[in-house]
Amino acid sequence: MWPIFIIAHYVTVIIISAIMVHNHTKRDPMRTMMWVIVLYFLPVIGLILYVFFGQNYRKTKIFSRKALKDLKYLDRLTRQQVLMLRKSEIFEDYPEKAGFKNIMTLLLNNSKAILTEFNTIEMYHTGAKTFEAIKEALLAAKDHIHMEFYIIEDDKIGNEIKEILIRKALDGVAVRVIYDDVGSWGLSKRYVREIRKANGKIMPFMKVRFPFLSSKLNYRNHRKILVVDGKVAFMGGINIADRYITGGAFGYWADTHMKIEGESVQSLQAIFMVDWYFVSKEILLRKRKLYFPDNAVNKQILIQIVTSGPDSDWAGIMQAYFSIINSAQHHIYISTPYFTPNEGVLTAIKTASLSGVDVRLMLPEKNDSHLVYWSTLSYLSELMEAGVKVYLYNKGFTHSKFITADGHLSAVGSANIDMRSFEHNFEVVAIIYDEQITKELEKSFQIDIQNNSKPVNPEKWANRPWYKNAEEGMARLLTPLL
């Protein structure tokens, strides 16, 4: 019996390995090699891991935006803006932004990230201020509330939000909520039932119930989006959970979220509508005037809202980060809780530093994922050898996800500098071409590295105990599988 089982197993492994090599080697040879090793040296377990975590859906698409015919106007607008950029017409009013032409064109082509002009942004750096603003916006809703979060907890703040949603739904406001079925694993059935009982609609993003587990567990909706009446939107790194206020086990939780009013709200509305169509098959664009009202904002802040995920043709956010890093002339500030970049982004960061750009990276000193954290630490030696200045945030935990370049451009959103955000998760990031907003973020970054962080000393780091390097090296080997 056992010989037959072993033969059958290895025949299966050989077939899967051949398929992997054929389909994925050109795209990511290191990841393919690691999966082949796992399959061969971890019988049964390796096969199970591959079925759950190893399949690539960027090529086959979990779902396609092309199914929404009403979004074809985005294609037309994208082509128009690419043509305008090619002729430099946009820069007649913004000559100082001409240096961003290549980045703007890239994001139009790889993610249909429409360039919007009239916007306002209010930045928040704590959960308490973020939720205060969110609750105020929810209470003011007149027509609809569109909300999607990776994590919604059945805790104090989660129930405060729920009670507002129920109240607004009973008042006739259309309430639609998407929660990720893995990130919100602990969300109770009672929580969902009470919102639905009040005529609110709440849907999970890709339920992970057998027998569909293998195709869905590895691809999660990591976005944090709230749109109220098509006029006000929120996005960033904060989920709906008490720890974003109290700090949880870390004592203090730093994060970055923002409130947007203006034309970019329409971009976030469109993203929600695509995700809502995926979970519910309901098309919302028939009420276009209500969902996309006329913009009343006169302040000029140029923004592109970029998405990426298994539904997209390109790794749009990764390419945005790569392009921003390559374009910097003076300095780059990066804040991320998880840092396991692919080779392209890692090389871009080291190349920028070696070229004389002041590159600074802030990471948390403590982390909520040991394996990912060990893998993160494995990159520090080569970064510091290239001249990158590394700081470990020690006031509590920093969950902020942003990049700033030269005091003129910033990227804020849900995506970490890691392979999961680049390849597997559904993410959203705002690329902001504004000096005031960027300098506000850079001021916050500088305060944190001066008062709430400690610089990593390259010499001391190089002389750490051998077992630290060993555990980090082992975690680094597993990075392509994370």
Give the model's pLDDT for residue 326.
96
| Assigned domain for 60 exists | no
Please report how the helices 156-170 and 189-197 are oriented relative to each other, as an axis angle in degrees rounded to 10: 20
For residue 6, being part of any structural domain is answered with yes
Asked whether residue 29 carries a pLDDT value surpassing 80, the answer given is: no
Highest mean pLDDT (candidates 102-116, 124-138, 195-209)? 124-138
Query: Which residue, 321, 301, 308, is CA-closest to 412?
Result: 321
- Out of 406, 418, 434, 448, pick the active-site residue: 406
For residues 257 and 83, the model is more confident at 257
Query: Of residues 146, 162, 259, 401, which has the active-site annotation?
Result: 401
The verdict on 151 and 232 lying in the same domain is yes
Which position among 144, 224, 350, 424 bears the catalytic label? 224
Query: Residue 267 has what pLDDT?
Result: 92
- Do 271 and 337 fall into the same domain? no
The answer on 145 and 30 residing in a single domain is no
- Report the domain count for the chain: 3
Query: Mind listing the pLDDT tens digit for each residue in 231-241?
Result: 999 999 999 99
**24 is a catalytic site residue:** no
Residues in CB range of 469: below 8 A, 6 or more apart: none
If pLDDT is split at 50, 70 and 90, which confidence band does 464 have?
A: confident
The CA distance from 102 to 86, in Å, is 9
Contact 430, 413 (CB under 8 A): yes
Task: Tell me, yes or no, whether 265 and 349 share the same domain.
Answer: no
- Band the pLDDT of 13: cuts 50, 70, 90: low
Residue 144 belongs to what domain range? Answer: 120-299
pLDDT band at 98 (very low <50, low <70, confident <90, very high): confident
- Could you tell me if 37 and 126 lie in one domain? no
Q: Is 224 in the active site?
A: yes
DSSP readout, 323-361?
HHHHH-SSEEEEE-S-EE--HHHHHHHHHHHHTT-EEEE
Q: What is the pLDDT of residue 147?
A: 98
Catalytic residue among 97, 112, 399, 424: 399
Contact 273, 467 (CB under 8 A): no
Residues 190 and 289 in one domain: yes
Q: Is 399 a catalytic residue?
A: yes
Can you give the three-state secondary structure of 80-112, one letter per residue? Answer: HHHHHHHCCCHHHCCHHHHHHHHHHHHHHHHHC
* pTM, full prediction: 0.86
User: Is 128 part of a structural domain of the chain?
Assistant: yes
| Annotated catalytic residue within 181, 229, 255, 275 | 229
Give the whole-angstrom CA distance, residue 35 versus residue 41. 10
User: Using 50, 70 and 90 to split pLDDT, how confident is the model at 286?
Assistant: low
Going by pLDDT thresholds of 50, 70 and 90, the confidence category of residue 253 is: very high
More confident residue, 277 or 9: 277
Same domain, 295 and 220: yes
Share of the chain above pLDDT 90, in %: 63
Does residue 59 fall inside a structural domain? no
From the list 125, 216, 222, 350, the catalytic residue is 222
Active site residue 406: yes
pLDDT tens for 354-367 read: 999 999 999 999 98
Q: Same structural domain for residues 285 and 366?
A: no
Least confident of 157-161, 210-214, 431-435: 210-214
User: Percent of the chain scored above 70 by pLDDT?
Assistant: 79
Higher pLDDT, 61 or 199: 199
* Structure tokens belonging to residue 450: 């001066």
**294 and 387 fall within a common domain:** no
Single out the residue in 299, 325, 360 at which a domain terminates.
Answer: 299
Of the ranges 65-69, 70-74, 136-140, 471-475, which one carries the lowest mean pLDDT score? 65-69
Q: Of 263, 179, 279, nearest to 225 (Cα)?
A: 179
CA dihedral 251, 341, 409, 86 (to 10 degrees): -150
Judge whether 184 lies within some domain: yes
Examine residue 90 and state whether it is found in any structural domain, yes or no.
no
**CATH classification at residue 287:** 3.30.870.10
Q: What is the pLDDT of residue 89?
A: 73
pLDDT of residue 198: 98
pLDDT at 28: 55
Q: Is residue 368 annotated as a catalytic residue, yes or no?
A: no
State residue 88's pLDDT score.
72
Average confidence (pLDDT) over 261-265 = 95
**267 and 337 fall within a common domain:** no
Is 208 in the same domain as 146? yes
Residue 229: active-site member: yes
Q: Which of 15, 37, 54 is the last residue of a domain?
A: 54
What's the confidence (pLDDT) of residue 214?
44
SS3 209: coil
| Predicted pLDDT at 204 | 96
Q: What is the mean pLDDT of residues 423-441?
A: 96
pLDDT the model gives residue 213: 47
Radius of gyration of the chain (CA): 23
Mean pLDDT of 218-232: 94
Domain assignment present for residue 22? The answer is yes
pLDDT at 238: 98
- Work out the pLDDT band at 30, boundaries 50, 70, 90: low
Q: Which domain-ending residue is among 299, 331, 352?
A: 299
**Tell me: the pLDDT tens digits for 373-407?**
888 999 999 999 999 999 999 999 999 999 999 99
Q: Taking each helix axis from N to C terminus, what angle separates 127-139 and 156-170, rounded to the nearest 10 degrees?
A: 10
Distance CA 102, CA 323 (A): 8
What count of other Cβ atoms lies within 10 Å of the Cβ of residue 76?
9
**CB count in 10 Å sphere of residue 408:** 21
Q: Residue 66's pLDDT band (boundaries 50, 70, 90)?
A: very low
Question: Average pLDDT of 16-34?
Answer: 55
E strand residue ranges, 406-452: 409-413, 417-418, 427-433
The answer to whether residue 378 is domain-embedded is yes
Q: How far apart are CA 323 and CA 107, in angstroms?
A: 10
* Segment 336-350 mean pLDDT: 95
What CA–CA distance (Å, rounded) separates 232 from 234? Answer: 7
> In whole numbers, what is the pLDDT of the chain averaged over residues?
86
How far apart, in whole angstroms, are the C-alpha atoms of residue 207 and residue 273?
19
- pLDDT of 90 > 60? The answer is yes
Are residues 195 and 284 part of one domain?
yes
Hey, which of 66-75, 199-208, 402-411 has the most confident mean pLDDT? 402-411
